[in-house]
Amino acid sequence: MNTKELRHSARLIWEAALNAANPGTCIRKFLQLRDNVLIVGGKQIEIRGRLIVIGAGKPSAKMAQIVEEILGSYITGGLVVTKNGHALPLQRVRLVEAAHPIPDSAGVRAVHDTRELLRKLNKDDIVLVLISGGGSALWPAPAEGITLEEKQEVTSCLLRAGAKIRELNAVRKHLSDIKGGQLARWASPARVISLIMSDVIGDPIDFIASGPTAPDTTSFSDALAIVQNYGIEVPDAVGQRFQEGARGGIPETPKPGDPVFKSVDNYVIANNRLLVDAAAEKARELHFNTLLLGTEVEGEAKDIGRFFAAIARETASTGNPIKPPACILAGGETTVTVRGHGIGGRNQEMALAWAISIASRPFSAQSCFASVATDGTDGPTSAAGGLVDPFTCSRAIELGLMPQNFLRSNDSSNFLKATGDLIITGPTQTNLMDLQILLVGGRQ
């Protein structure tokens, strides 16, 4: 296979993965309606009262659309929040668009309206909660004494410092009135059923969208330690809240064993493994020898890019860890420690680092590498990621661009745009972390 053919194969592989991660497929496997009985994960629940549908996340509009198709007139009200530009038409559930990853006032108003929907519910009512990646930012409910602007500042500082999603969400939970299981309190005593699309490594339900319906395993002390470990300056009100909470002066989020969770069922209906397995199936269909490295890839994006470049060289020269034509897959979520003033995201930075590493020590086999954000947006850009090959850097140099300068300034998006290596998918209506695809052909 030549480079053009390998790049085409990479596109077919990630498209197959995204199709498998469609909320329609995932929800219909877990949720059915038979007469007036909900069947959720094999459990039967009679609909005797109100049925409220709420949710937040980048795929929430699509999730709500599928739920409307299944439940129809049984839905008595609802509200879901999605990222700006990700809206879809809904009939029975109200849709609000808000900002991500830095929360905004539209999200705050949506949380207020959601809480109003949940007032005066009784034990015969059902609240169906649609939770997915992005929900933490899209459901902002600043705790008493904390402003939205202060939450925005803390979120921005942690993102720039390269905080992992678990760390970010542990902090968010303790600045919020909805996260860390507190939504379950709002809905009590109604029956709560959460359908969850996981964008967190290992699928911990208390970290996906900051676990609004899950017992919280973190504390004020954890949040304080995270802020201190990264050495970031936080607003005085935030620091004081964490310190007072760590001393026991502010009530904690509900923990495992809290009776509020007796009427709560949480179901993870899709995760990164689903995505990567679909990619592997497509790669085998395209006659690649296929190897899955794992679905828990994390760390600095540029370091992971260099790692994949080393695997490409080893595969081409020795047939280890798998003989060409080879497809090597991985999933997870990396981070970027921002030191420059450019524009990019973790997937684009990883692709740029791979291209630079390959160019520094070229080899004779054809290859390409793609890193894709499954939600269609990588960092604060409209690109989903990058698809690069051994000629990416030479194309850049012909344009008078120095690849290393772009990597140092975290400007991967402008670099890949110039070389024609951006992946643009638009909103995908799913969010199951990231996918890496390394293809290595035979020797030239």
Indicate whether 371 pLDDT > 60.
Answer: yes
Q: Compute the CA torsion angle 289, 290, 291, 296 (nearest 10 deg).
A: 160
What does the pLDDT read at residue 364? 75
Judge if 159 and 300 occupy the same domain. no
Q: How far apart are CA 135 and CA 130, in angstroms?
A: 9
CB atoms within 10 A of CB 408: 13
Judge if 59 and 155 occupy the same domain. yes
Judge if 354 and 247 occupy the same domain. no
> Where a domain ends, among 271, 289, 322?
271
Give the CATH number, domain containing residue 434.
Answer: 3.40.1480.10
What's the distance, CA 303 to chain centroid?
A: 20
The mean of the pLDDT values for the chain is 96
Judge if 167 and 264 occupy the same domain. yes
Average pLDDT over residues 151-174: 92
Judge if 423 and 438 occupy the same domain. yes
Average pLDDT over residues 155-179: 93
Range of the structural domain that residue 387 is part of: 3-14+273-443
This prediction's pTM: 0.91
CA distance to 43, 221, 222, per residue, from 225 (Å): 40, 6, 5
What does the pLDDT read at residue 444? 52
What does the pLDDT read at residue 40? 96
Indicate whether 387 pLDDT > 90.
Answer: yes
Judge if 100 and 124 occupy the same domain. yes
Domain count, the chain: 2
Average pLDDT over residues 49-73: 97
Name the token pair of 343. Answer: 């524009």
Give the CATH number, domain containing residue 81.
Answer: 3.40.50.10180
Judge if 125 and 210 occupy the same domain. yes
Q: State the pLDDT confidence band at 32, using cuts at 50, 70 and 90.
A: very high
Judge if 254 and 279 occupy the same domain. no
> Where a domain ends, among 271, 292, 312?
271
> Where a domain ends, among 237, 271, 305?
271
In tens, the pLDDT along 235-265 reads: 999 999 999 999 999 999 999 999 999 999 9
Judge if 182 and 319 occupy the same domain. no
What does the pLDDT read at residue 443? 62
CA distance to 204, 326, 342, 378, per residue, from 404 (Å): 37, 28, 13, 20
In tens, the pLDDT along 400-434 reads: 999 999 999 999 999 999 999 999 999 999 999 99
Judge if 80 and 211 occupy the same domain. yes
Three-state SS annotation for 290-350: EEEEEEEECCEHHHHHHHHHHHHHHHHHHCCCCCCCEEEEEEECCECCCCCCCCCCHHHHH
Which of these ranges, 128-132, 337-341, 361-365, has the smallest mean pLDDT? 361-365
- Burial class of residue 299 (count of CB atoms within 10 Å of its CB; 0-12, 13-18, 19+): middle
What does the pLDDT read at residue 304? 98
The structure tokens 């990646």 sit at 133
Indicate whether 227 pLDDT > 60.
Answer: yes
Name the token pair of 414. Answer: 């402008």
What does the pLDDT read at residue 363? 85
Judge if 301 and 233 occupy the same domain. no
What does the pLDDT read at residue 411? 98
Judge if 185 and 301 occupy the same domain. no
Query: Beta 126-131 vs 94-98: how paired, if at all?
Result: unpaired
